[in-house]
A and B are shown apart, each in its own frame.
Chain A
Amino acid sequence: MTSVAGRAGGRTDERVAAGGLLRRLLIRPELGAVVGMLVVFAFFASQSAVFRSPAGIANWLDPAATLGIMAVAIALLMIGGEFDLSAGVLTGTTGLIVVTLATRYGLDVWSAMLVALVVALGVGFCNGMMVTRTRLPSFIVTLGTFLMLQGVNLGVTKALTGTVQVSGLRRAAGFEEARAVLAGTIQIGGTPFRVAILWWLLVTAVATWVLMRTRAGNWIFAVGGDEQAARAVGVPAARTKIALFMTTAFAAWLVGSILALRYTSVQANIGIGQEFIYIIAAVIGGCLLTGGYGSAIGASIGAVIFGMADKGIVFLGWDADWFTFFLGGMLLLATLANRLVRRYAEEVRR
């Protein structure tokens, strides 16, 4: 035994040592995002004292948190080889359900949230079933769901209220407790931080564990990398993908509830356009558009970059219009870096 191990050790050293460690680090999906985050932080922190103060950090971690929860779920789905364009508008749908049921139909906030969760999981399940059954691109299928939900959100809200928003959640039973759990703040060193940040960290940690340390994680990489090959070794590809769509829907429910509890009212058009921001954060975090590669932590870091730029530009007193310019630049850089990584990892020497 020892001789075998010794031989293996010797061999490993001889051929891997040279460029191996650096190369292995380079093909970590998060690497580009980590570098990007450090650069962006250094830039804003050097320009603005508020930005680097605890209050400033709490300020830019807040948009990072709600975006991060979605970006992590979308990252898992993208690693599994699919897109979900309905995720953004679904955060609106769940928020609208919670507020409507709690203010007009006498449900307490918790029951209203439970109903919203069931609806969200149903939408995720339908997305998953349609994609796996029809083998149509999820881009098209979820574009359909996206448009349908957008119509329902506006149509139902208008029919019920005559306006384009529902409000008054504050008066509903159970509001204070639900708000404390999902949309409250906690004091750290005298600075109030949003509770959503904790939920985001929890979601990231669980997603990373699932991805790296469970069979389901192995299957997610496999169905995104090569679905046929995965099926051939017995991976339940359809089930894996449906579960991923339902995970995204769950995240949309969580974020929708957080936002509804925070603002106590929901606009019928909320969440529209966000679906691409989630994808951008996931791609900046190292996810390949073609699937099979990426990381949950990377997507969270992508969300942090987004949050820093979003608030940092305001702290510097710049016009907020520059934000999209910045976002586009980050996206291009990230995709270029990813392409190099993929080429390296996939280069085939026959």
Chain B
Amino acid sequence: MILEARGIGKTFGSVLALRDVSMGVEAGRVTCVLGDNGAGKSTLIKILSGVHQHDAGTLLLDGEEVRLAGPREALDRGIATVYQDLAMIPLMSVWRNFFLGSEPRRGLAFDVAKARRVAREELLAMGIDIRDVDQPVGTLSGGERQSVAIARAVHFGARVLILDEPTSALGVKQAGVVLRYIARARDRGLGVVFITHNPHHAYPVGDRFLVLNRGTSLGEYGKADITRQELTALMAGGAELEELEHELRREQ
């Protein structure tokens, strides 16, 4: 277990965003965090990546209790995050984004030639087909952008890769591409935390599933313990889904 959260709680003023949530991340395994909108998924992973500090519970890195002061510290400890809302800078080129915050240096200068070359090589190594590393990230498709961000995390030696809804804005095919890169990062030995509200994306790549609902955990399951149908039902709240189906049928 590289990273483990035990009984984590977080409040924003009077808003209780998370209560008593536990989860673990293992090397070479994908832990999926599922839940509806506002369930607290982003809040949980922002705690894991140092953006927020938890109010209750403990965070363990390699079995030792830690408190991450900020994103920089998390990165230095090998926890890289690809955020849902803040991924990359649209007007900057692919290679500038790739090395942002960790630019290779040569003397006083930013080693631009190396940055360009390494970015191109790393993207190719992950099988990511970018036309031109000089093009602004804003001109990439959503899936390409997520892929570049994943390749960046892998390159910087992340041990834990956290992805916040990398597939939510994507079409079926693009989502498939991103899922493939997730699998590739996993095969390279990274522990992956994959946040999504789509069980059909989570089930094929996931090894463990944490389901959140209104800030609390509905349980953490191994793949052997739960079927895709059960996972879907759990996420939606089984009874509610049946009711919805019933309602929709009548309306037709």
Contacts and interface: CB of A to CB of B under 8 A. Distances in A.
A12 B133 CA distance: 10
A215 B51 CA distance: 23
B141 A350 contact: yes
Contact of A225 (B90, B109, B131, B140): B90
Given A16-B131, A293-B91, A229 B86 contact: yes
Interface centre among A222, A230, A232, by most B CB within 10 Å?
Answer: A232
B1 interface: no
Given A225-B89, A229-B87, A292-B91, A234 B138 contact: no
Given A4-B124, A235-B101, A222 B89 contact: yes
B252 interface: no
A106 B169 CA distance: 69
A11 B131 contact: yes
A221 B109 contact: no
Interface residues of A, number: 39
B129 interface: yes
B81 A232 contact: yes
Contact of A349 (B85, B87, B134, B141): B141
Interface string B137-176: 0111110000000000000000000000000011000000
A94 B124 CA distance: 54
A24 B134 contact: yes
Contacts of B114: none
Contact of B131 (A15, A229, A230, A344): A15
Given A16-B132, A293-B91, A230 B101 contact: yes
B75 A233 contact: yes
A271 interface: no
Contact of A215 (B75, B105, B138): B105
Contacts of A344: 139
Given A214-B108, A229-B87, A222 B92 contact: yes
B129 A229 contact: no
Contact of A221 (B91, B120, B129, B141): B91
A347 B138 contact: yes
Given A225-B89, A232-B86, A8 B124 contact: yes
Contacts of A350: 141-142, 169-170
B136 interface: yes
A229 B110 contact: no
Nearest to B138: A346
Main SS at interface, chain A: helix
A349 B139 contact: yes
Given A8-B120, A8-B124, A12-B132, A345 B89 contact: no
B71 A218 contact: no
Interface string A1-30: 000100010011001100010001001000
Contacts of A215: 103, 105, 110
B144 to A, nearest CB: 9
Contacts of B92: 218, 221-222, 225, 292
Contacts of B72: 234
B66 interface: no
B4 to A, nearest CB: 23
Nearest to A8: B124
Given A11-B131, A234-B101, 5 more contacts: A12-B132, A20-B132, A213-B110, A214-B110, A350-B142
Interface of A: 4, 8, 11-12, 15-16, 20, 24, 27, 209, 212-215, 217-219, 221-222, 225-226, 228-235, 292-293, 342, 344-350
13 contacts: A12-B131, A20-B132, A214-B109, A221-B89, A226-B89, A228-B85, A232-B81, A233-B75, A234-B75, A234-B102, A293-B91, A345-B91, A348-B138
